[in-house]
Amino acid sequence: MSDPEGLHDLNVPSRSDMRWADMAAELEFTQLDSVRATASKWRDVLVSLVALISTAIAIGGPRSAQGLAACDRIIVGLLLGVSLATLLAAVVVSASASFGIPTKIALTGEALRSWSSDTTTCAVRSIKISLVLFVVGISGVAISGLIGFIAS
């Protein structure tokens, strides 16, 4: 199976390879906008969930807490307070990822490229942090509900 004309030895990229290379090159210019759009959607979801959880706690909490002993009521109340604070922190962190933190940058191509890369990295990190805060906050709400259920 020799190639007498040597056509397969040239390593010529396929049309698909060229398209992927073009997309990768374009991503350098659009990745920050994409990450910020994702962070904005995540922030909106978090705000909605925090509002829903807060409303449910405000409506059902006082009635549910009446049947608990004073010590259990304090534990559940503190856990809910810490959980809601953690959920609000998740909202703030995701908002900073979606809007960014205003900074002054030099008006050169290399400075803009560096700022865009650093800002994208920071936004991705903030999204991950807000996800962890969200899981911790939701877990706290669930644990407080479980404590309230078991203690009543």
Cβ atoms within 10 Å of 49's Cβ, excluding its own: 16
Q: What is the pLDDT along the chain (152 residues), one digit of tens a residue?
A: 555 555 555 678 788 878 888 777 777 777 878 888 888 888 888 888 888 878 877 777 666 767 778 888 888 888 888 998 999 999 889 888 888 777 777 777 788 788 788 888 888 898 899 999 999 998 988 888 888 777 77
CA distance 135 to 152: 26
**pLDDT of the residue at 115:** 78
Task: Give residue 86's pLDDT.
Answer: 93
Q: How far apart are the C-alpha atoms of 119 and 98, rounded to whole Å?
A: 11
Instruction: In whole angstroms, give the CA distance from residue 25 to residue 62.
Output: 56
- pTM of the model as a whole: 0.71
Chain centroid to CA 64: 32
The pLDDT, as a whole number, for residue 2 is 56
pLDDT at residue number 25: 79
Q: What is the pLDDT of residues 71-114, one digit of tens each?
A: 888 888 888 889 989 999 998 898 888 887 777 777 777 887 88
